[in-house]
Amino acid sequence: MTAIIQAENLGRWYGEVVGLGDLTVQIEPGITGLVGPNGAGKSTFMKLMVGELRPARGLLTVLGEVPFGNRELYRQLGFCPQQDALYEHQTGRHFVRDLLRLGGWSRREADRLAVGAMERVGLEDAMDRKVSGYSKGMRQRTRLAQAIAHGPKLVVADEPLTGLDPIARRQTLDLFRGLAEDGCSVIISSHVLHEVESLTQTMVLIHRGRLLAQGSVREVRRLISRHPSRVDVIARDPRRLASALLPLDHIRTIKLGDDPKKLTVETDDISAFHRAFAGVAASAEAGVTGFKSDDASLEAVFDYLIG
């Protein structure tokens, strides 16, 4: 299978800030999730893919073409940017239609395609209203509509699920599945692993501008499952609580910090910890007043994975 994206030692920085360090990756056709915490370089990679930026070093081809300013490539490419920006004076329908017209479509055909795209993203009732009056989710879907309206071979969507309510999120995920069934490749970025997991089994993980892992969701999950989860607990008597928790099998470490009321627990099985915690805390009578699991973030997992 021919790769749709080929990046070799790709680097891009903004002054002294590294956007992308040294990325070598191949992405095959289909749906691919580009996952990484905020600041990992996902948006920079996507901006390079769509030719908004040029690499500072390395090589990048998209559908076999160098992307920057490549008009032929843009006929086959749809980009849904992350930034919440639209032409505020236009209606959703006119926004999509006018961008289609730039692609060479006649006014009538562009309007037909624009209406189709707005229907596909579930905005048929609002498409004749000005985008300045749209909600955040509607604006997001309008950006998506302009990316898919011309029937591209590849859609690049930067955090397309951000700001969507659960129903719109499900519709959008269905839309991506539909695009893939029609033979369109989709690359979506997200910092939320399970969002991407529900859409594709193929994932590219980047962190601090470098490729961390690439493969199936199962492989990534396996890496994550080795990662101990950390829980911060605030209690009146943290030492007493620590003594009660220590005998549990899945507890790896318990640390008492500078804060006299706080303890940090590392566990190999967060679910078992959650099940056992209430009973242990009650019997220890340690006066628990706060409980925070900050390890759910992808950032923590990435930090663990890179050591």
Partner 1 sequence: MSLITELPRATWLIFRMHLAATAASRRALSGLLFAAVPPLLAFLALTASGSGDSGVNVFMYLGVLVLLQVVAPALGVFLGIGAIADETEARTVTYPFTRPIPRASVFLGRWLASLLVLTTLLLASGAGMAAITLRASDPPSMDAVRGLLSATLIAGVLYSLGAAVIGVIFKRGQVIALGYAFAFEVMLANIPGSAQKLSLQYYLRSLFVGSENADWRSLAVFQKSEFLTTADSAERLLATTVILLVIGCVTVTRKQFVLSS
| Residues 95-134 contacting partner 1, CB under 8 A | 98-99, 101-104
Q: How far is the CB of 212 from partner 1 (least distance, A)?
A: 21
Closest CB to partner 1 among 87 and 285?
87
The answer to the question of residue 85 lying near partner 1 (CB under 8 A) is yes
Which token pair is 188? 């979506």
Q: How far apart are CB 84 and partner 1 at their closest, in Å?
A: 8
State the binding string over 24-43 for partner 1 (x if CB under 8 A, else -): -------------------x
Per CB under 8 A, 10 contacts partner 1: no
Is residue 82 a contact residue for partner 1 (CB under 8 A)? yes
Regarding 185 and contact with partner 1 (CB under 8 A), the answer is no
Q: Residue 200 carries which side chain, given as an amino acid letter?
A: T
CB of 175 vs partner 1, minimal distance in Å: 19
What's the rounded Cα separation, in Å, for the pair 207 and 59?
A: 19
Question: Other CB atoms closer than 10 Å to residue 203's CB: what's the count?
Answer: 24
Q: Which residue lies nearer to partner 1 by CB, 129 or 250? A: 129
Residue among 57, 75, 221, 275 that touches partner 1 (CB under 8 A): 75
Residue 53 sits in the site that holds partner 1 (CB under 8 A): yes
Q: Which is nearer to partner 1, 93 or 230 (CB)?
A: 93
The C-alpha atoms of residue 53 and residue 60 are separated, in whole angstroms, by 11
Residues 236-275 that bind partner 1 (CB under 8 A): none
Binding mask 188-227 for partner 1 (x = CB under 8 A): ----------------------------------------
Contact predicate 154/62, CB 8 Å: yes
> Is residue 146 part of the contact set for partner 1 (CB under 8 A)?
yes
**Which position among 86, 234, 256, 272 is part of the footprint of partner 1 (CB under 8 A)?**
86
Dist CA 145 CA 95 (whole Å): 10
Angle at the Cα of 269 from the Cα atoms of 224 and 277, rounded to 5 degrees? 140
Rounded to whole angstroms, the Cα distance separating 220 from 156 reads 22
Q: Where are the alpha helices (DSSP H) in the chain?
A: 42-49, 71-75, 92-102, 107-120, 136-148, 166-181, 193-197, 217-225, 238-245, 270-284, 298-305
The three state secondary structure string of 137-174 is HHHHHHHHHHHHCCCCCEEEECCCCCCCCHHHHHHHHH
Q: What is the largest CA-CA distance in the chain?
A: 75
Beta bridge partners of 144: none
Phi, psi of 156, deg, nearest 5 = -110, 115
- Shortest reach from residue 67's CB to partner 1, in Å: 9
Interaction of residue 83 with partner 1, rule CB under 8 A:
yes
> Is 138:148 a contact under the CB 8 Å cutoff?
no
Using the rule CB under 8 A, is 89 a contact of partner 1? yes
CB of 167 to partner 1, least distance (A): 25
Q: Which residues bind partner 1 (CB under 8 A)?
A: 14, 43, 50-54, 68-69, 71-72, 74-75, 77, 79, 81-83, 85-87, 89, 98-99, 101-104, 146, 158
